[in-house]
Structure 1
Amino acid sequence: MIAGIGIDVVDIARFARSLERTPALRERLFAESERERPARSLAARFAAKEALIKALGGHAVIRWHDMRIVQDADGNPDFALSGALSAHVEALGIDRVHLSMSHDAGIASAFVVLERGVGRAATSREALAPNPDQELE
């Protein structure tokens, strides 16, 4: 069951100017493992973090360093959640956080979908699948 959806877009040039004007911003928004990436990649990561905040419905317990963008085993973008944010997501019963990021034509974008009850959803889909032993009318 979908528990939340968030989307965000970032103007890459504007974001790069912000990083140049305020060097401490890079340290404040990104974990050490993320900081040396190019502006387009940082803009997409910022969009991903903002999309996650929106999907969760706010940011009362969220700290920027508690949501690092990493690659999953297949090389796709994923979140590594930690601290109070990880506990908050678990308390909400969120089983899976889906993330898609892109940057093109000067814009970075990210889309986040939160899922709850992933195991139950698979069982429901199986229940709706046609039974191969059942005769069709």
Structure 2
Amino acid sequence: MAVIGVGIDVVAVDRFAASLARTPSLVDRLFASDERVTRSGHPRSATSLAARFAAKEAVAKALGVPAGMQWHHCRVVSADSGRPSLVMTGTVLAAADAQGIQDWQLSLSHDAGIAAAMVVALG
């Protein structure tokens, strides 16, 4: 497989948490219901949500920031092991298909108040 795109993004957790507190509906606009909670059903922390938002931004960058991308069409899910992966539907899947992207690799990290994500689009 060839690398078609790479995206990276960082999010200041405090600033992201303040945005969520200021605009409570933002969490619903950015994340699908299964992204907002852990596998055990507990609400995700602002740090975890910030990392997932960074992943969505990184995907947009890897795709070349396609017009009309809807945040719910790019979901970050976790395997039982905790390893994150991406699930694409709708507008994001269409943009990926148009570029021949067949697989995604994702890495999330957070430390010292910063959440980061890197994605590699493969085709």
TM-score, normalised with respect to structure 2: 0.88
Q: Give 1:23's aligned residue.
A: 24
Distance (whole Å) between structure 1 residues aligned to residue 78 and residue 120 of structure 2: 17
Runs of at least 4 residues off by over 4 Å: none
Q: Give 1:52's aligned residue.
A: 59
* Aligned equivalent of 1:107, options 114, 118, 123: 114
Larger radius of gyration: 1
Q: Deviations over 1:47-105 (max 9, x none)?
A: 00000000100131310000110124754111111112212212211111110001111
Q: Give 1:92's aligned residue.
A: 99
Q: Give 2:34's aligned residue.
A: 33
TM-score, normalised with respect to structure 1: 0.80
Runs (5+) with no aligned partner, structure 1: 117-137
Distance (whole Å) between structure 1 residues aligned to residue 116 and residue 87 of structure 2: 19
Q: Give 1:122's aligned residue.
A: none
Instruction: Tell me which amino acid in the other structure corresponds to 2:29.
Output: R
* Aligned equivalent of 1:78, options 85, 89, 107: 85
Distance (whole Å) between structure 2 residues aligned to residue 31 and residue 93 of structure 1: 25
Distance (whole Å) between structure 2 residues aligned to residue 92 and residue 66 of structure 1: 16
- RMSD across aligned positions (CA): 1.3
Higher helix share: 1
Runs (5+) with no aligned partner, structure 2: 37-42
User: What number of residue pairs does the alignment pair up?
Assistant: 116
Instruction: Tell me which amino acid in the other structure corresponds to 1:57.
Output: G
**Identical positions, percent:** 53
Distance (whole Å) between structure 2 residues aligned to residue 57 and residue 74 of structure 1: 31
Q: Deviations over 1:92-134 (max 9, x none)?
A: 1111111000111100000011111xxxxxxxxxxxxxxxxxx
